[in-house]
């Protein structure tokens, strides 16, 4: 049995810097090992994503939410970076077109017949202390290729065009457990979890 020491700095509440209950649920699954209550940020609190990198945006969101609530906060920022498009859509992934179908269409049109189709998903996660200072952060990546047309119905966002050659599947053709084990978000949490345990329970 492992001995867990609870110190004064050990929080029991962590505010998730998102208004999206789906994201909270997904974080809950990744953090199942840690005895923490997760809560959505207050609805009125809107944070503009003005950073130029995934990490900068994650820092901004975690820090602002922590300061506004006086609690520990966690934020993530993620997106798709296509090599032949100089890293686009990148931090603009969620805003690349009005609908997800149009976002996918725009990436496919911009790539056209270009044979160079390497891309990566990136996810930055940051945890801020109640005073807004950054306590922990991690970045996870998942490398793949952009198909010429969508395949599969699972997942969300750019999943149907993001293909993993070693699995011979797109993210949208995988069950959630497989996607989570390969994904940028899964990789970032794998780095972050031991750091969280060390920070709060050592
Ligand atoms: P965020 O919620 O501001 O981090 O925006 C992330 C955006 O990047 C999403 O709206 C998607 O367009 C894209 N994205 C991030 N992660 C994934 C993924 O796992 N699959 C598909 N699209 C993703």
User: What local confidence, expressed as pLDDT, does residue 8 receive?
Assistant: 45
Atom of ligand 1 nearest to the CA of 94: 10
Give the Cβ contact number of residue 171 at 10 Å.
27
Section 125-142 average pLDDT: 97
What is the dotted CATH code of the domain comprising 13-201?
A: 3.90.950.10
For residue 78, report the distance from its CA to the centre of ligand 1, in Å.
5
Nearest ligand 1 atom to the CA of 57 is 3
User: Alpha-carbon distance 184 to 161, whole Å?
Assistant: 16
Reported as a pLDDT band with limits 50, 70 and 90, residue 7 is low
Whether the per-residue pLDDT at 4 is higher than 60: the answer is no
144 lines ligand 1 (CB under 6 A): no
Residues 42-94 have pLDDT tens digits of 999 999 999 999 999 999 999 999 999 999 999 999 999 999 999 999 999 99
Centre of ligand 1 to C-alpha 35, Å, is 27
- Say whether pTM exceeds 0.75: yes
Q: What is the 3-state secondary structure (H, E, C) of 58-122?
A: HHHHHHHHHHHHCCEEEEEEEEEEEHHHCCCEHHHHHHCCCCHHHHHHHHHHHHCCCCCCEEEEE
pLDDT higher than threshold 60 for residue 3: no
Is 157 near ligand 1, meaning CB less than 6 Å away? yes
Residue 192: burial class (beta carbons within 10 Å; 0-12, 13-18, 19+): buried
Atom of ligand 1 nearest to the CA of 18: 2
Mean pLDDT across the chain, nearest whole number?
Answer: 93
């Amino acid at each position: 049995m492992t001995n867990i020491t609870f110190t004064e700095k050990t929080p029991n509440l962590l505010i998730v810097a998102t208004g999206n209950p789906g994201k909270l649920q997904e974080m809950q699954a990744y953090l199942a090992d840690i005895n923490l209550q997760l809560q959505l940020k207050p609805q009125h609190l809107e944070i503009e994503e003005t950073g130029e990198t995934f990490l900068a945006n994650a820092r901004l969101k975690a820090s602002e939410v922590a300061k506004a609530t006086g609690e520990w906060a966690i934020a993530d920022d993620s997106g798709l970076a296509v090599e032949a498009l100089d890293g686009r859509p990148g931090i603009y992934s969620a805003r690349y077109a009005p609908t997800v179908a149009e976002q996918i269409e725009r990436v496919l049109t911009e790539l056209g017949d270009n044979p160079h189709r390497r891309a990566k998903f990136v996810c930055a996660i940051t945890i801020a202390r109640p005073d807004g200072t950054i306590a922990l952060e991690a970045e996870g990546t998942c490398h793949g290729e952009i198909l010429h047309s969508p395949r599969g119905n699972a997942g969300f966002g750019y999943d149907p065009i993001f293909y993993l050659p070693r699995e011979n599947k797109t993210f949208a053709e995988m069950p959630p457990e497989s996607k989570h084990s390969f994904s940028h978000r899964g990789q970032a949490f794998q780095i972050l979890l031991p750091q969280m345990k060390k920070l709060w329970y050592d």
